[in-house]
A and B are shown apart, each in its own frame.
Chain A
Amino acid sequence: MEKQDYVSAKTFLVVWAILMILTFLLVETSLSTLPMKDFLIVIMMLAQAYLVSFYFMHLRFEKLPLILSVVLGVLLTVLLLYFVIIWDGTRIVKLTS
């Protein structure tokens, strides 16, 4: 482990506070009837995921190739899975019904 990966407790306190505010806003958005509700929820979810993975899982201190493998690997695979399943799945459902 390298020397510079010490993080002060103050940084964690700030990250925790942002996470708490985001949780509150997420629940409030979900209960509201805002027009862009789903989009806002996804954006806030990704913001929370960024904070947890980059600060708590120390992804911030890793080298760029590792960050890209983890973030793009997981994100692109899940997006591909989701859209291929939805696109092909709805087609099959329409064929059989």
Chain B
Amino acid sequence: MQNVRKIEPIEGVHGLEEPFEMAPSAFSANRKTLMMWVFIISDALLFGSFLAAYGFERFISPTWPDRWKIFEPGYLAAMTVLLLSSSTLMAVAVESLKQGLKGRFALFYTLTIACGIVFLGMQAHEWAHFIGEGARLSSNPWGVPLFSALFFLITGFHGFHVFTGVLVLIIVGLLSLLGKASTDTVELTGMYWSFVDLVWVFIFATIYLL
């Protein structure tokens, strides 16, 4: 069993005359991993409430713009493919590092960052296209003002998460190049990066497909 803490006896303290073992945590996860999950759950609830707000507006609104008249299906599919591939590459990179394959780790890690940066560029281009069509925070040419407001809010928040993710990936990459980042740190970074991808899966289906 992991995470069993041995408590050493302390002289003169009542109840601590003999050594004993603390029961393992029910989660039996490493402390850092557990905290990362707490952060991810809170972030997931933030996006969950955004998407619930979107769903509500959609439900009470008599009309809703046809997304495929505004966006290009192929372009969005490419963005999804890019982000999904990026988190696959990250997962392979983490596994390579665990097995001690430094060269393979560096290759896949660099590809992960590259995919993230290309995704950000594509999102910026999409926003430019959307604004060019006449969408603003408080109005748009398709009749439902809240559609563009929620679109900017949700994809903007997600885009900023991707941006932060790329920055974290670069910083952790440099630290591990200097030998200052442990395997755990890289793995937690991978968890965050996959989470960003997970959020995109929900945003893609809710905003564009449904």
Contact = CB atoms under 8 A, between A and B. Distances in A.
Interface of A: 1-2, 5-9, 12, 15-16, 19-20, 23-24, 26-27, 29-31, 38, 41-42, 44-45, 48-49, 52-53, 55-58, 62-63, 65-66, 69-70, 73-74, 77-78, 81-82, 85-86, 89-90, 93
Contact of A30 (B49, B95, B195, B209): B209
B147 to A, nearest CB: 17
B110 interface: no
| Leading 10 A-B pairs by shortest Cβ distance | A78-B48, A56-B194, A45-B205, A30-B209, A16-B88, A82-B52, A66-B27, A63-B28, A81-B52, A56-B91
Contacts of A41: 205, 209-210
A8 B104 CA distance: 13
Q: Looking at chain B's contact residues, is the secondary structure mostly helix, strand, loop, or mixed?
A: helix
A58 B32 CA distance: 14
A15 to B, nearest CB: 7
A78 B191 contact: no
Interface stretch (B72-80, B118-126, B160-168, B173-181): B72-80
Contact of A1 (B30, B45, B198): B30
Interface residues of B, number: 54
B210 A48 contact: no
B55 A77 contact: no
A9 B209 contact: no
Interface string B185-206: 0010011001101100110110
